[in-house]
């Protein structure tokens, strides 16, 4: 122990203290935190640049905000938005479960299944989504009829073009490519579950299927969810490629209206941008709560949600106001 | 006394490294056996082979006359289907060094999970689980998650979980090795209450004091084989083999 730590009131300062200072007095005062002047300068600089840009939003007439307002809730835009949401939602759900199937197949001991799923992932990660979509839209030329049956035996077939609507083809295209990515996301999540969890479940004789749904998958989802939401956000934007196969999604509608009303191109792009921002933000909020759900048990106490934080701040302010 | 567990010619190697060299070993029902040995002596592998977490290359394990993990096919042994092995494991509890509790389930759910998956009604399983948690002194932790508990508490939950299927045999793989020294006592105390309860216990441990006090029999293993075995007084106080003497002098030093 040093003399400083013991703080005997009358004993002389020890030799370990620099000469010429009053050890007792200094030791009792609060240590001053380091200041960061450069931080303030850089912050000011960034704010000035930001304000410059913000100003142009109001002063530059080309933004044409009144037209943005006019188009924002217009029926064609909402219809395009609906198509974007429907195509994305169906593909997201299909590719989540498809991804689990492909990932489990890849991790399985069955060499045929595991090789097939590796091949599938390799194929659809290699080929551009746009190419997949255009390919599918020409499927009628390649296979006028599709179906299943016993080779050289009875067949069940339907007409390709009549059965598969453009939206169905679009969703199939998005899903085919998305499954390849989500399979890898799911696989990484499954591999992240500690081997001891499998052993404990084995030792307790829990049946394999229940081991997967009750023990392994819930733990894997903790690392799957953030990566998969990332995929979904990518999927929303990838759905704009549907425009190239003549499906009018949000982006497609904005493009189309832009060529019909050439003076409104900028406002229409702004409308589409804002809608994409809204979609992504909604997903981010949902993601926050899903992650929180799967985090139970991983930390001793979960941090409060933003809403709880606001409520707590308000109630503590009320409390202090009451005291005053 | 009847034999609960019999191990015949347990042989196992990983690549060219032999970990078990034809171990013959049996345990009488309702007794406590402690397996001692230096690290890498094959004691954990032997324990894990008993409930078929490790597959043997040669030899077999039987519990109350039933082969574990294998069946007789002609003049050979053939591995059982996973479903049948999982069913057999219900009769053998296992407690891990690192607890391996399910972190996303509450303590009560951890203990009731296996009975529910074996077809016990959830309400009944929860009742049994609550009673077991009371037995290991953790009634107030039912709704907690494993990470909110100390290591000693977690291992007591793991013991309750292993008891939930009412197994005939419980295997402990170094149950106190991952614990801070001051938490070892509470876990050993729970194991002590199980001794003499009719259950057959096999414990791999380095706690010589515990072995001396609780074990009916001590087995000393080295280099994949049993070097000597007998009552604690004989093996721990008057070891016949120089390797046992060597090990004890290092552990007790």
DSSP A271-300: HHHHHHHHHHHHHHHHHHHHHHHHTTTTSS
Q: Which residues on B lie below 8 Å from A204 (Cβ)?
A: 89-90, 94, 113-114, 117, 161-162, 165
What's residue A323's pLDDT? 55
Kind and range of the H or E element at B220?
strand B217-222
B156 min Cα distance to partner chain A (Å): 15
> Is some CB atom of chain B closer than 8 A to the CB atom of A197?
yes
Extract the runs of DSSP E, i.e. beta strands, from chain A: 145-149, 155-159
Predicted pLDDT at B64: 92
Which of chain B's residues have a Cβ under 8 Å away from the Cβ of A199? 53, 96, 100
Does the distance separating the beta carbons of B96 and A199 come in below 8 Å? yes
d(CA A148, CA A165): 19
pLDDT band at residue B13, thresholds of 50, 70 and 90? very high
> In this complex, do A208 and B83 lie within 8 Å of one another by their Cβ atoms?
yes
Q: Do B114 and A298 touch (CB under 8 A)?
A: no
**Beta strands B225-230; B66-67: pairing state:** unpaired
d(CA A276, CA B131): 54
Q: Which residue's structure tokens are 């037995």? A: B135
**pLDDT (tens digit per residue) in B137-151:** 999 999 999 999 999
Q: What is the pLDDT of residue B147?
A: 92
CA–CA dist A124, B153 (Å, integer): 49
Residues 6+ apart with CB under 8 A from A260: none
Mean pLDDT across chain B? 94
Tell me which of A196, A199, A203 to substitute to probe the interface with B (most B C-beta atoms closer than 10 Å): A203
Contact A202 B86 (CB under 8 A): yes
- Average the pLDDT over B43-69 and give the result: 94
Collapsing DSSP to helix, strand or coil, B153 comes out as helix
What pLDDT is recorded for position A50?
A: 95
For chain A, residues with pLDDT lower than 50 are 1-5, 324
Sorting pLDDT into bands at 50, 70 and 90, what band is B156? Answer: very high
Structure tokens at A123: 């194929």
- Residue B139 confidence (pLDDT): 94
Query: Which residues in chain B have Cβ-Cβ distances shorter than 8 Å to A200?
Result: 94, 96, 100-102
* pLDDT of the residue at A79: 95
For a pLDDT cut of 70, what percent of chain B falls above it?
Answer: 100
The residue to which tokens 């042989």 are assigned: B11
Residues of A in contact with B93 (CB under 8 A): 203
Local confidence band at B110 (pLDDT 50, 70, 90 cut-offs): very high
Residue-level pLDDT at B34: 96
- Give the pLDDT score at A1: 43
Q: State whether A199 and B147 contact (CB < 8 Å).
A: no
Whether this prediction's pTM lies above 0.80 is answered by yes
Q: How high is the pLDDT of residue A10?
A: 53
Using CA atoms of B222, B228, B233, B238 in order, give the dihedral in degrees to the nearest 10: -90
Q: What CA–CA distance (Å, rounded) separates B206 from B184?
A: 11
Distances (CA, A) of B52 to A158, A228, B25, B110: 52, 36, 15, 22
């Amino acid at each position: 122990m040093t003399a400083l730590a013991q703080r005997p009131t009358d004993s002389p300062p020890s030799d370990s203290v620099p000469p010429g200072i009053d050890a007792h007095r200094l030791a009792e005062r609060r240590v001053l935190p380091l200041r960061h002047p450069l931080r303030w300068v850089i912050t000011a600089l960034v704010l000035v640049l930001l304000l410059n840009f913000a100003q142009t939003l109001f002063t530059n007439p080309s933004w044409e905000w009144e037209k943005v307002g006019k188009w924002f809730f217009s029926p064609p835009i909402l219809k395009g938005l609906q198509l974007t949401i429907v195509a994305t939602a169906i593909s997201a759900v299909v590719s989540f479960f498809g991804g689990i199937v492909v990932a489990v197949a890849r991790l399985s001991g069955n060499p045929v299944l595991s090789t097939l799923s590796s091949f599938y992932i390799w194929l659809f990660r290699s080929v551009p989504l746009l190419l997949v979509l255009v390919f599918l839209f020409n499927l009628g030329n390649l296979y006028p009829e599709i179906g299943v049956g016993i080779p050289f035996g009875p067949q069940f077939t339907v007409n390709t073009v009549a059965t598969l609507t453009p939206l169905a083809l679009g969703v199939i295209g998005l899903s085919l490519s998305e499954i390849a990515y989500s399979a890898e996301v799911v696989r990484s999540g499954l591999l992240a579950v500690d081997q001891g969890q499998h052993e404990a479940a084995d030792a307790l004789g829990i049946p394999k299927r229940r081991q997967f749904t009750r023990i392994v998958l819930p733990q894997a989802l903790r690392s799957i969810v953030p990566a998969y939401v990332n995929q979904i956000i990518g999927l929303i934007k990838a759905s704009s490629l549907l425009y190239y196969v003549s499906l009018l999604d949000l982006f497609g509608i904005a493009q189309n209206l832009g060529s019909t009303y050439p003076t409104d191109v900028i406002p229409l792009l702004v409308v589409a941008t804002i809608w994409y921002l809204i979609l992504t933000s909604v997903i981010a909020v949902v993601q926050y709560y899903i992650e929180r759900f799967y985090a139970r048990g991983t930390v001793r106490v979960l941090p409060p949600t933003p809403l709880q934080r606001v409520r707590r701040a308000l109630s503590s302010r009320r409390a202090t106001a009451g005291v005053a | 006394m009847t034999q609960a567990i019999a191990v015949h010619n347990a042989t196992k190697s990983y690549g060219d490294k032999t970990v078990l060299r034809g171990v013959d070993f049996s345990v009488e029902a309702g007794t406590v056996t402690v397996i001692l040995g230096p690290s890498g002596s094959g004691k954990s592998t032997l324990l894990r082979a008993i409930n078929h977490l490790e597959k043997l290359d040669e030899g077999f394990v039987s519990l109350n006359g039933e082969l574990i993990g294998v069946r007789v096919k002609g003049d050979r042994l053939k591995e059982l289907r996973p479903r049948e092995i999982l069913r057999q494991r219900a009769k053998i509890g296992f407690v891990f060094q690192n607890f391996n509790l399910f972190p996303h389930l509450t303590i009560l759910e951890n203990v009731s999970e296996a009975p529910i998956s074996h077809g016990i009604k959830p309400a009944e399983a929860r009742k049994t689980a609550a009673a077991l948690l009371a037995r290991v002194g953790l009634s107030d932790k039912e709704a907690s998650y494993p990470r909110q508990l100390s290591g000693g508490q977690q291992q007591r939950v793991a013991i309750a979980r292993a008891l939930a299927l009412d197994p005939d045999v419980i295997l402990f793989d170094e149950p106190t090795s991952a614990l801070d020294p001051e938490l070892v006592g509470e876990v050993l105390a729970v194991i002590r209450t199980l001794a003499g309860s009719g259950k057959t216990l096999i414990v791999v441990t380095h706690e010589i004091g515990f072995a001396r006090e609780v074990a009916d029999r001590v087995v000393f293993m080295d280099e994949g084989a049993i070097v000597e075995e007998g009552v604690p007084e004989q093996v721990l106080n008057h070891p016949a083999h120089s390797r046992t003497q060597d090990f004890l002098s290092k552990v007790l030093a």
